[in-house]
Amino acid sequence: MIRSLITAALGLGLATSTAWAGACGAPETWHTLTPEDEAAFKAALSLGPNMPTVGAPFDVELKVCSSDTRPLDRLSVDATMPAHKHGMNYQPQLSKTGDGAYKATGFLFHMPGHWKITVSVYSDGAPSHLSMDINVP
């Protein structure tokens, strides 16, 4: 109830249907990302205490785990505006902070609207993509 009031008042909106469920042992306040194909990996993401606002840099914490025993070879994270067919002006810098835990710095949404954060997990040369949608007021 409180969250919906805040959303209405400030015009914020998370478009993902699976927000607030913790995957990979993440706190339940983190956002579980939606797999875009075979769910070989799971991922959860934290945007920090405040929702991103236009023109303000922010960092992302990430937890990634395999649904089976597949190894995680490589990881990338990025964001795009599907309607405008462009991404961010910056490439986030990704660093590992623990077992299956990462921090991505240098996100910046330079326009309001619908943004999609995508995590790409590479295993045996094949990518798996997981994403979440954010409506930035």
Partner 1 sequence: MRAAGRLLALFVLTLLATNAASAGEPVLTQSHFAKLLQHGPWPARWERDPSNRVSGEPDAIALGRDLFFSPKLSGNGKISCATCHHPGRGWTDRLPQGLGTTELDRNTQSLLNVRLNRWFGWDGQNDNLWAQSIRPLLDPKEMDAGAGHVVNVVRNDPQFSKAYRTVFGTAPDTANLELTLVNVGKAMAAFQETIVTGRTPFDAFRDAVADGDEKAAKDYPIAAKRGAALFFGRGNCTFCHTGPNFTNGEFQDAGVPYFLGPGRVDKGRYDGIGKLKASRLTLAGSYTDDPAKTGAWKVQGVRALHRNFGEFKVPSLRNLTQTAPYMHNGSLATLEDVVRHYSEIDVERLHADGTAVLAPLHLNEREIQDLVAFLQSLSTQ
Torsional sign, CA 17, 100, 130, 137: positive
The type of residue at 123 is S
Among 23, 44, 88, 130, interactor with partner 1 by CB under 8 A:
88
- Beta carbon of residue 12, minimum distance to partner 1 (angstroms, whole number): 10
10 is a contact residue toward partner 1 (CB under 8 A): yes
The tokens for 43 are 């991922």
Binding positions for partner 1, 101-130, rule CB under 8 A: 105-106, 108, 110-113
Q: Is the CB of 39 or the CB of 86 nearer to partner 1?
A: 86
Place of tokens 């309001």: 112
126-136/93-98 β-pairing: unpaired
Q: Is the CB of 65 or the CB of 111 nearer to partner 1?
A: 111
CA distance 71 to 29: 27
The tokens for 11 are 């015009």
* Total interface residues for partner 1 by CB under 8 A: 33
Binding positions for partner 1, 22-81, rule CB under 8 A: 53-57, 81
The type of residue at 130 is L
Residues in contact with partner 1 by the rule CB under 8 A: 2, 5-6, 8-11, 53-57, 81-93, 105-106, 108, 110-113, 137
